[in-house]
């Protein structure tokens, strides 16, 4: 009789332990599933935000391109210079206002193109990294826009080029 009680008690304890562990495992699996689902939703939200941000920033980049064209028209007022002409004049030490302006607008155009490339190539879906990227990008694009607005003000910017260009 004692052996029978011991066997039954052991069986009950083992069965109870099994069911408790199964319940724990299913809770853990449910938590992991919810967690994975939340990450999936978060990534989908970031993906949508990236697309909206790209549209918004593309409009600013296009506005910058219009500013570049307007500035070039104001600078040129006559003959047009190629990029090679500008670089050659800068390398020869020509410090005329027009050469300086042409070189500055060439640099700003390059920066605008780089901003567009960076935006189009962004792909990280991590929420924190996306927020950091978005803030930094917005700051950079605003600074670039101010460069266009203040283009004809006296500038202390020095344009340097290398002879290999």
Quote the pLDDT of residue 109: 95
pLDDT score at 8: 75
Does residue 95 or residue 29 have the better pLDDT?
A: 95
- Predicted pLDDT at 164: 41
Mean pLDDT of 99-117: 91
- For residue 162, name the pLDDT band (cuts at 50, 70, 90): very low
Contact predicate 156/76, CB 8 Å: no
- For the chain, the 3-state helix, strand and coil shares in percent, each to the nearest 5, are 80, 0, 20
- What average pLDDT does this structure show over 3-29? 67
pLDDT attached to residue 135: 96
Which string of DSSP letters, residue by residue, matches 9-66?
Answer: HHHHHHHHHHHHHHHHHHHHHHHHHHHHHHHHHHHHHHHHHHHHHHHHHHHHHHHHHH
Residue 124 predicted with pLDDT over 50: yes
Q: How far does CA 45 lie from the centroid of its chain? A: 16
Tell me which of 141 and 10 has the higher pLDDT. 141
Condensed to tens digits (0 to 9), the pLDDT of residues 37-89 reads 555 667 888 899 999 999 999 999 999 999 999 888 888 775 666 767 777 77
Query: Against a cut of 0.85, is the pTM above it?
Result: no
Cα 80 to Cα 98: distance, rounded to the nearest angstrom: 11
Of the pLDDT bands very low, low, confident and very high (cuts 50, 70, 90), residue 113 is very high
Q: What is the pLDDT of residue 115?
A: 95
Whether the Cβ atoms of residue 46 and residue 130 lie closer than 8 Å to each other:
yes
Indicate the domain borders of the chain. Answer: 2-149
Question: Is the pLDDT assigned to residue 4 strictly greater than 60?
Answer: yes
Among 121, 134, 125, 130, residue whose Cα is nearest residue 40: 125
Distance between CA atoms of residues 68 and 105, nearest Å: 7
**Mean pLDDT calculated for residue range 86-96:** 74
């Amino acid at each position: 009789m004692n052996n029978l009680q011991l066997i039954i008690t052991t069986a009950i304890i083992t069965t109870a332990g099994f069911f408790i562990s199964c319940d724990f495992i299913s809770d853990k699996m449910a938590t992991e599933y919810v967690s994975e689902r939340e990450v999936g939703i978060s990534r989908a939200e970031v993906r949508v935000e990236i697309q909206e941000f790209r549209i918004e920033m593309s409009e600013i980049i296009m506005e910058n391109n219009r500013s570049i064209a307007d500035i070039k028209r104001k600078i040129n007022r006559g003959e047009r210079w190629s990029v090679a002409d500008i670089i050659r004049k800068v390398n020869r030490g020509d410090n005329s206002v027009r050469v300086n302006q042409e070189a500055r607008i060439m640099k700003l155009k390059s920066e605008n193109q780089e901003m567009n490339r960076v935006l189009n190539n962004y792909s990280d879906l991590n929420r924190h990294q996306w927020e950091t990227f978005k803030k930094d990008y917005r700051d950079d694009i605003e600074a670039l826009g101010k460069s266009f607005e203040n283009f004809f003000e006296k500038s202390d910017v020095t344009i340097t080029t290398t002879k290999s260009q």
